[in-house]
Structure formats: structure tokens, C-alpha cells
Amino acid sequence: MRCDVIRFALSNPGDVSGLEEALAAGSIEAGDIVAVIGKTHGNGLVNDYTRGYLTLSLSLLIARHTGETPEAVRKRVPFVFSGGVEGVLSAHYTVFTAQSAEAGSGEPALAIGVAFTPDYDPGDIGRQHQIDTTATAIREAMASAGIDSPSDVHFVQIKGPAFGTDDILAARHPLVSDNAGRLMALGRAASALGVGKALGEMPADAAVEAAVLKDFSLFTSVGSCSAGTEVRCNEVIVVGMSRKWSGPLAITHGVMQDALDISGIHDVLDALDMVADPQLDERQAKRLRAGFIKCEASRNGQIRGRSHVMLTDGDIDQQRHIRGAVGAIVASVLNDTALFVSGGAEHQGPDGGGIMALIVDRETN
């Protein structure tokens, strides 16, 4: 198998012209598309419908080319969109394809697998059921990707459900919270513990409901978890390296200890034989196929001993603050603004920090 990764600009939440042109030119086959991850123009909160708009637009486009129904496309292709391109960030979407190919030279190459949990009731969010079903789906995605070892997994993207008032009132099971925004955070957190459990990043008996949004010593270094009203299950995308795949692409990951941790960015670049001094030059920046960053405002209200107002600002949600800040910092080092920078990093990287995964073309001489 061979995986390709292509980014497209997004001028508005329904703009699928880039992929449409690629499909018409034959550079991408619609049936080869296995996942799409992107950043839209919305606010990233419960009432962000730009994510569903782009999901619908892309599923309609792909269905026209494959002969499937849009519903069938959505059942096999995870569409993971995060709202919020504050500051210098650029709206975009990244298409992952998988094609049959001859076995490579034995050198590990980029590999991808996807899976879906069962649909959730609002009462399932933040519960042990969500943790455990997420862990099971991650193992299924690893198996489908031919990734044998958790150490070869470098990025797990999850999109889970967010629920509005009507759904919350109609819940079949008792709720952990009846606040829609809080329920989103609980879902992200439980999903992150599912990643940690599946990959052995934390003891299985520690990845429990009682730890959700409480024990922040527990975190995944590869998991990125989002929530939106456009889905009802956890959609899971696992990306790593495997000798069963071929191609020129590679991925690695690391953590940012806090919002200012430029050294964490450089550690990831070093692992990819890339040097930012102080910024990637144009030649190296062109090697970047995709960048995924999760970030979170520190819960103690401080960054390196000085206070921040992100958690107490009544006008701007803390996720919008942190996306704008971390997005600018990472973009300045990578010399690229089309980055997937997402807030809501509960149990995703150290508290107040986050995770980073970069997909690049290997250096060629």
C-alpha cells in the first residue's frame, strides 16, 4: 500500500474546488480517499456548523465520482474538521489517500487506518463506555493499517459528537453534565484516555471514568480529539509508519510542554532531519505535507510564572485565544500557516501544553 497526503486551500466552508479539480485531472481517485482532516472558518464551539457544511460538500463531491450515496461515503471516510483559524492560521483541508502498490524497499513508510465506534447517546459522553470503545476502535484502525506496534503510531485523530440542547434533553442515559460545552470537553477527555489506553501510554486501570478531567498527569502524546454536532460516534484515524507500506512520506510526533515551547517544535523537526534557524527555509517548508497541533490554556492561569486571562475572558473563549497564540508561534517556525491547530487538549499532551505531529516528504539528494 501507498499513502498520499494532499492539502487544499479553503476559501469558504463549502469550497471543495481544489479536490474537484484534482479528481477531474485524475491526480486523485475518489475511491482512494480514506480520510479528510481540516480547519474551517467557524468558532470551533457547539454552534459551529461550518464543520458539517464542509463534510456535506465533500461527501457529495466524492459520491458523484464513486457512485456511492453521500451517506455511504460518510460511513467509510472520517471527515474531521475543527473550527477556528484565528490570527495567521489558514483554513484548509488535508486529503489522505491509500492505493495498492508494490512492496517497498523494507524502509518504513507512512501508513493510515480508520475505524468508527458505535453511535453514542449524550449519556455515554465522558463515561467508561466511550473510553473503552475508543480504545477498541484504535486497535482496529492499527490492524487495518498494518501498524503492529504502538511505538509506530505517531498521530491519532478522533472526532466525537457534540450535542445541543434538544439532544441533551432527550438523552436515554444519565448525563455527566447537561452543559453542552462541558459535555464537549468530557468527550474529548474520555477519547484521549481511550488513545492512551489503546497504545499503552497509561496503565489500563488508570484510563477510567473517574480520571476524566481530573487526573491531568494522564495524557496521550499522539492523540488529538475534537467534537462536533456533525457526528454521533467517534471517528478514528490512526497514522504511523509501517514496512508494509511504501512511498516517500514520513511522520513523527512530539509534545509542547507549554504554549511557548519552541524547543518541542525543534525536537520534532530534528527527528525529521529538518532545521529551523530560526525558521524553516522555503525549500524545507515545501517538504511539509501536513502539521497537526493540539493546545490548551494552562489551568493554573499562568505561563512560566506569569498570569494569562484566557480562562477568565468573558468575551473570547479560551480555545480561540490559545489557537491564535500557538498557531502564530508554530507557523513562525514552520514557515507555513495551513496548519491544523486545535484547542481543547484535555489529556492531550501535558496540561497547558499539547502535541504535535508533522508529515513530510523525506529529504532527497
Give the tens place of pLDDT for each residue, 164-219.
Answer: 999 999 999 999 999 999 999 999 999 999 999 999 999 999 999 999 999 999 99
Selecting among 59, 82, 159, 197, the annotated active-site residue is 159
Greatest C-alpha distance within the chain:
60
CB atoms within 10 A of CB 328: 15
Average pLDDT of the chain is 96
* Dist CA 296 CA 122 (whole Å): 24
Relative orientation angle of helices 318-334 and 262-271, to the nearest 10 degrees: 50
Average pLDDT over residues 228-241: 97
State the Rg of the chain over Cα.
19
Cell of 237: 484515524
Predicted local distance difference test score (pLDDT) of residue 101: 87
Contact of 138 with 156, CB cutoff 8 Å = yes
pLDDT over threshold 90, residue 102? no
Predicted local distance difference test score (pLDDT) of residue 189: 98
pLDDT over threshold 70, residue 67? yes
Predicted local distance difference test score (pLDDT) of residue 243: 95
Query: Which H or E run includes 154?
Result: strand 153-161
Predicted local distance difference test score (pLDDT) of residue 364: 57
Backbone φ, ψ for residue 154 (5° rounding):
-115, -10
* Dist CA 361 CA 301 (whole Å): 38
Amino acid identity for residue 234 in this structure: N
Q: Are strands 306-307 and 302-303 parallel, antiparallel or unpaired?
A: antiparallel
Query: Which H or E run includes 39?
Result: strand 33-40
pLDDT over threshold 60, residue 127? yes
pLDDT over threshold 70, residue 247? yes
Contact of 204 with 131, CB cutoff 8 Å = no
Read off the pLDDT band of 116 (50, 70, 90). very high
Predicted local distance difference test score (pLDDT) of residue 138: 98
pLDDT over threshold 50, residue 365? no
Residues sharing a CB contact under 8 Å with residue 334, sequence separation 6 or more, in sequence order: 265, 276, 279, 280, 285, 288, 291, 358
Nearest alpha-carbon partner for 228 in 19, 17, 78? 78
Cell of 145: 493499517
pLDDT over threshold 60, residue 298? yes
Average pLDDT over residues 227-248: 96
Active site residue 226: yes
* Dist CA 342 CA 326 (whole Å): 9
pLDDT over threshold 90, residue 350? yes
Predicted local distance difference test score (pLDDT) of residue 106: 80
Cis, bond preceding 278 (omega within 30 deg of 0) = yes
Active site residue 197: no
Predicted local distance difference test score (pLDDT) of residue 217: 97
18-54 confidence digits (pLDDT tens): 999 999 999 999 999 999 999 999 999 999 999 999 9
Cell of 202: 497509561
* Dist CA 308 CA 113 (whole Å): 39
Predicted local distance difference test score (pLDDT) of residue 290: 98
Selecting among 226, 242, 246, 342, the annotated active-site residue is 226
- Alpha helix stretches (DSSP H) within the chain: 17-25, 50-66, 70-76, 128-145, 165-169, 180-198, 262-271, 282-285, 318-334
Q: Is the model's pTM score more than 0.95?
A: yes
Contact of 71 with 191, CB cutoff 8 Å = no
Contact of 272 with 361, CB cutoff 8 Å = no
* Dist CA 8 CA 22 (whole Å): 10
Predicted local distance difference test score (pLDDT) of residue 103: 65
Percentage above 90 pLDDT, the chain: 98
Query: Which H or E run includes 288?
Result: strand 288-295
Q: How is residue 227 annotated by DSSP?
A: E
